[in-house]
Amino acid sequence: MPSFDVVSEVDWAEITNALNQAQKELSQRYDFRGTEASVERTTDGIWVRASEEDRARAALTVLHEKLVKRKVSLRHFDTQDPEVGPKGSSKILVKVIEGIEKDKAREIVQLVKDQKLKVQAAIHEDTVRITGKKKDDLQVAIQVLRSTDLGVELGFKNFRD
């Protein structure tokens, strides 16, 4: 029986490349001289640091530009409010969101059911598996999910006959 998985995954290699490019640009640009601006990846997410809040926001903009150039959706990122550190320094945490939350997964299942297609949708951890008897029904389900804005970047993989 044909099936596919609806996922929300991040390409970590592209994020690493974007981080390296952003760090290189921050070290070379004249307007960031002396601001100690940096971006680094940690277990919490991505930290953007600078000696002033406006420079931290500017560094965040540079990071966003690099991510967009590398075709990484900004929907995968949740930017927190700036935190003030010692001597007026500032740091911004950018959390990386990966996987589909339970509420969004239920919303996807309900959306597929509302279309009255001959497919079944089931939630598996942080993915949604959609199965059906015909490939055409599955392709219609993919089109419906792509055309609907759920606030999550969706990807489709493991399409099997």
Which tens digits make up the pLDDT trace of 93-125?
A: 999 998 888 888 898 888 888 888 888 888 988
pLDDT band at 3 (very low <50, low <70, confident <90, very high): confident
For residues 82 and 90, is the Cβ–Cβ distance under 8 A?
yes
Residue 15: which pLDDT band, with cuts at 50, 70 and 90? very high
Residue 34: per-residue pLDDT:
85
Collect all residues with Cβ–Cβ distance below 8 Å to 88 and sequence separation of at least 6.
51, 52
Write down all domains in the chain, each with its CATH number in brackets: 3-8+100-160 (3.30.70.860), 12-96 (3.30.70.990)
Question: What pLDDT shows up at residue 115?
Answer: 83
pLDDT at 5 over 80: yes
Q: Residue 57: what pLDDT?
A: 92
Residue 149: CA atoms inside 13 Å, Cβ hemisphere, count?
2
Per-residue tokens: 62: 């540079």
> What confidence tens digit (pLDDT) does each residue in 31-82 have?
888 888 999 999 989 999 999 889 999 999 999 999 999 999 899 999 999 9
Mean pLDDT, to the nearest integer, of 11-39? 91
Quick one: pLDDT at residue 86?
84
Name the strand (E) or helix (H) holding 22: helix 12-28
Q: For residue 114, with 0-12 CB atoms within 10 Å meaning exposed, 13-18 middle and 19 or more buried, which class applies?
A: exposed
Give the pLDDT of residue 21.
95
pLDDT computed for residue 50 by the predictor: 92
